[in-house]
């Protein structure tokens, strides 16, 4: 496990891309396998817990 993970609680709470729903309206919604947070299929990582999202 890397100790220099960018996915800290502070980084999550102050995420600059809060209004991503507009530009990614066509994206498929998926749920994080670790914490259940609603994510977009174009994301590589969950913004809440930092888990890598699996692609299909």
**pTM, full prediction:** 0.48
In 3D space, the residue among 14, 53, 13 whose CA is nearest the CA of residue 32 turns out to be 53
- Residue 24 has a pLDDT of 46
pLDDT < 70 regions, the chain: 1-26, 55-56
Q: How far is it, in rounded angstroms, from Cα 13 to Cα 32? A: 17
The alpha-carbon radius of gyration of the chain (Å, integer) is 12
Q: How far is it, in rounded angstroms, from Cα 49 to Cα 33? A: 10
């Amino acid at each position: 496990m890397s100790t220099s993970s960018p996915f800290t609680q502070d980084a999550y709470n102050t995420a600059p891309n809060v209004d991503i729903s507009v530009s990614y309206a066509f994206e498929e919604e998926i749920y994080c396998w670790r914490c259940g947070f609603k994510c977009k299929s174009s994301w590589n990582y969950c913004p809440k817990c930092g888990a890598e999202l699996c692609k299909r």
